[in-house]
Amino acid sequence: MSKTIVIYKTKYGSAKKYAHWISQSLGADLFDVKDVSVQMLNSYDTIIYGGGLYAGGLLGFSFIKKNYELIKNKNVVVFAVGSSLNPDKTEEEIKNRNLSDEMKEKVKVFFLRGALDYKKMKPFDKFLMFCLKKTIEMKKTEDWDDDTKGIIATYGKSVDFTDEKSINPILQYINSL
Ligand SMILES: Cc1cc2nc3c(=O)[nH]c(=O)nc-3n(C[C@H](O)[C@H](O)[C@H](O)COP(=O)(O)O)c2cc1C
């Protein structure tokens, strides 16, 4: 029988929440990336990796990237969790920013909407968001894209866009393999 592992890395909990929902729905094993060794991956046919997006980078994904040669004949699926309002553009951006050319051909990438809570945010992340807001505000509002509008609309607030139903396309894809 086909075996699936779901691996995640999270800063504030959204990627873990999605990883939990996905592993439960698929009856797959679930691990934080810090508890996974490359040897463990041998026994799986499908590897699902999920992490939070930070300034375009996928948290903890270097583990998959540096070991890709050893797992490239398996099904590798990625989900990235972020606050962007623009999932189509984001999927393309995630690939361009995080995947090698070989991975772009073979790895399926999904985008899921996460959460932002300025009350719980670490000081450095708060500072980064403050700088981002200031940079955005220097541009004309007519030039703001959906990502930019999303950052401004949620700045300083607590928002949670996580939704169990949004994992359905991932489940359908995995079941079609
Ligand atoms: C400093 C900072 C940078 C972020 N950069 C991005 C980004 O580039 N793209 C995006 O869609 N979301 C971005 N986000 C939003 C996070 O990805 C979102 O909060 C997500 O739910 C985090 O997942 P996690 O809780 O699993 O770490 C950023 C958040 C912070 C605090």
Amino acid at 138: M
- CA 148 vs CA 67, 75, 116, 151: distances in Å: 34, 34, 15, 5
CA of 151 to the centre of ligand 1 (A): 10
Ligand 1 neighbourhood includes 125 CB (under 6 angstroms): yes
The whole-angstrom separation of Cα 50 and Cα 58 is 8
Report all structural domains of the chain as residue ranges with CATH numbers, in order of start. 4-114+161-176 (3.40.50.360), 117-158 (no CATH)
Ligand 1 neighbourhood includes 84 CB (under 6 angstroms): yes
pLDDT in tens, the chain (177 residues): 689 999 999 999 999 999 999 999 999 999 999 999 999 999 999 999 999 999 889 999 999 999 999 999 999 999 999 988 787 778 899 999 999 999 999 999 999 999 999 999 999 999 999 999 999 999 999 998 877 888 898 999 999 999 999 999 999 999 999
The whole-angstrom separation of Cα 82 and Cα 35 is 23
Which mutation among 83, 93, 117, 162 tests ligand 1's pocket best, with the greatest number of atoms within 8 A of CB?
83
Ligand 1 neighbourhood includes 81 CB (under 6 angstroms): yes
Q: Which two tokens stand for residue 24?
A: 């439960």
Q: How many residues does the chain have?
A: 177
